Chain A
Amino acid sequence: MTPLIEIRDVSKIYERGRQKVEVLHHIDLDVAQGQFLALMGPSGSGKTTLLNLIGGLDSPTGGSITVGGQRIDNLGAGALAKWRASQVGFVFQFYNLMPMLSAQRNVELPLLLTKLSGAERRKRAAIALDLVGLADRASHKPTELSGGQQQRVSIARAIVSDPTLLVCDEPTGDLDRQSAEDVLALLRALNRDHGKTILMVTHDPKAAEYANQTLHLDKGTLVEQVAA
């Protein structure tokens, strides 16, 4: 069976002034559809860089990345933006919600890029909020929600356009233990019950336990694969 994500010989070099820093060294990786993969490793090991490359936020210096049969490493900025809009949902450590919009409006944001009517957008946002257990908080602004609730709104925003892949960068990094477990349980449910492929960067071994596979990165190299 063809994996959902195929990474071949991917390198990433950042140029900071005159200095060149190789953050990823010749990475090869396959991620199957429906996988919940945790990426762990010390700070600066290249976890977020790898996640950004897979999510189409950045381009590799060398190698190829194929997601769902589509080469994304050679796409232009516009095509990459369109690809992200339809294929990837993003969850960030600090939620990154629009503070001036209600939870409902935040969740609707990715749908503005579709041709759906206003009524249909509202309906789908309501379903997504219901799925994350926040149907009663639709009209609340982010500042009126707890950290855990804000992260659940950001998960609703990530899934509202029904992407194949969810990319989560330290989704529990800013949450207390209970909220973190709620969020992780929600991600696991999305993986198990809705078939979403999830890539999650985390420092927290407890969070990694929710994944069915954990990869370790060190100094830009995959060093270990642990099956859950």
Chain B
Amino acid sequence: MKYLHLIWASLFRRKTRTILTLVSIVAAFLLFGLLDAVRTSFAEAGQSANGAQRLQTGSRLSFIQTLPQSLQSRMEQVPGVKTVTYANWFGGAYQDPHNQVFSFAVAPNYLDLYPEMSVSDAERKAFAETRTGVLVGEGLMQRFHWKVGDRIPMQSTIFPDRSGSKNWVFDISGVIHSTDKKAAGFFDQMMLLHWTYFDDTTPYNRGQVGWYVTRVTDVNQADRVAKAIDALSANSDHETRTQTEQAATASWMKQLADIGLIVTSIMGAVFFTLMLLSGNTMMQAVRERTSELAVLKTIGFSSTSVLAMVLAESVLLLLLGGVIGIGLAEPLIPLISHGSNGMLALSPVGASSWALGLALMLAIGVLVGALPAWSAMRLNIVDALARR
């Protein structure tokens, strides 16, 4: 610690250059904080503690392929299955195609499998008795300033009614309150509509189901149950793939886009550029200080301590910029989530993001400092003082 003032003073010897480099590091780690939040949000989308007891069954070919509704009764016969429900993607938008809503047509018992979604008894009864009724997540209600009893027009991006119009009208019967904070971002933005209304209204969906959700009696038997369910449709024209809810969500997300790969690729490019930039700064800083480093060695600083000081300077630069960058991401993430009107429910910067960020700061700091530190360590005092 007694060298800290020396390291700090060396770092800010050329203030403009150091500040410009710091700004680049801040920008890189701000981007890291935001993109890591996107990655985490996608990875955690729809996951909850109760998800372990649920299996999802979809078409083996693609998530847009449907399955026969008749499969439900056969699935219910599989040993270890407690309850089976089903749903289909509705693909609704409110007023403007940009206002996409996570909307699903669901079977009457759908809510029974999702204790994370809490709906009051009165509202659930109203939903059951209203053919055009919908249950809407709390966040979605706030986003569009809806209230229970409102009649809302929705446009399906996929399904027309029998007259060919994609305009649908729904009555809000109740509000979905999320009981699981981890999954709240997902359930808060959800809209559930009646399966029968959906199935009767659109000619596109005659007795077809988007996916099944199964509750198992014993989590430890989930793998066996999944295989048994898939065996029901083996060699048919509707072969299925049954997975845990987590795996199914991840697989669905991957079919949309491999967010992890995209984020990793962007961050790889950003950090590579950052390494070149901060490495160049450190090389210049050490080159300019050749005679000063020689003086330090002359008065008795060992080669190892000179190496350690240059490395510490590089790590300090990265830590300073990195901590400011991720620190800035913290308040920005809720602002972005809020600004996206609920479309982006980004996870806050968590301990794992901080840990990964700090590890990256240390690693990049050591990497970019290694070469200049090595040069400083190998510096020949006599040559350096003679400016050879």
Contacts and interface: CB of A to CB of B under 8 A. Distances in A.
A145 interface: no
B2 interface: yes
Interface in A76-104: 77-78, 81-82, 84-86, 90, 92, 96, 98-101
Interface residues of B, number: 25
B9 A81 contact: no
Given A58-B382, A90-B298, A100-B9, 13 more contacts: A77-B303, A81-B297, A84-B300, A90-B299, A92-B295, A96-B291, A96-B294, A96-B295, A101-B9, A105-B6, A112-B2, A112-B3, A157-B299
Nearest to B11: A100
Given A81-B302, A85-B300, A99 B5 contact: no
A113 B306 CA distance: 12
Interface in B286-324: 291-292, 294-304
A52 interface: yes
B181 interface: no
B356 interface: no
Nearest to A95: B295
A205 interface: no
B144 interface: no
Contact of A105 (B5, B13, B382): B5
A58 B296 CA distance: 15
The 4 A-B pairs of least Cβ separation, nearest first, read A85-B300, A100-B9, A96-B295, A100-B13
Contacts of A82: 300, 302
A98 B300 contact: no
Contacts of A109: 6, 296, 299
A118 interface: yes
A139 B305 CA distance: 26
A118 B2 contact: yes
A110 B2 CA distance: 12
Interface in A29-69: 48, 52, 55, 57-58
Interface residues of A, number: 26
Contacts of A113: 299-301
Contacts of A92: 295, 385
A90 B12 CA distance: 26
Contacts of B385: 57, 92, 96
Given A58-B382, A96-B292, A112-B6, A81 B301 contact: yes
Contacts of B382: 52, 57-58
Q: Which residue, of B3, B10, B292, B304, has the highest number of chain A Cβ atoms within 10 A?
A: B292
Contacts of B298: 55, 57, 84, 90
Interface in B1-32: 2-3, 5-6, 9-10, 12-13
Nearest to B303: A77
28 contacts: A55-B298, A57-B385, A77-B302, A77-B303, A78-B302, A78-B304, A81-B300, A81-B302, A84-B300, A85-B299, A85-B301, A90-B298, A92-B295, A96-B291, A96-B294, A98-B6, A99-B13, A99-B292, A100-B9, A100-B10, A101-B5, A101-B6, A105-B5, A109-B299, A112-B6, A113-B301, A118-B2, A157-B299
Interface of A: 48, 52, 55, 57-58, 77-78, 81-82, 84-86, 90, 92, 96, 98-101, 105, 109-110, 112-113, 118, 157
B263 interface: no
Nearest to A58: B382
Nearest to A57: B381
Contacts of B302: 77-78, 81-82
Contact of B300 (A96, A101, A110): A110
Contacts of B5: 101, 105
Interface in B79-116: none
Contacts of A110: 299-300
Interface string B353-388: 000000000000000000000000000011001100
Interface in B171-210: none
Contacts of A105: 5-6, 9
A204 to B, nearest CB: 20
Q: Which residue, of B295, B298, B300, B303, has the highest number of chain A Cβ atoms within 10 A?
A: B300
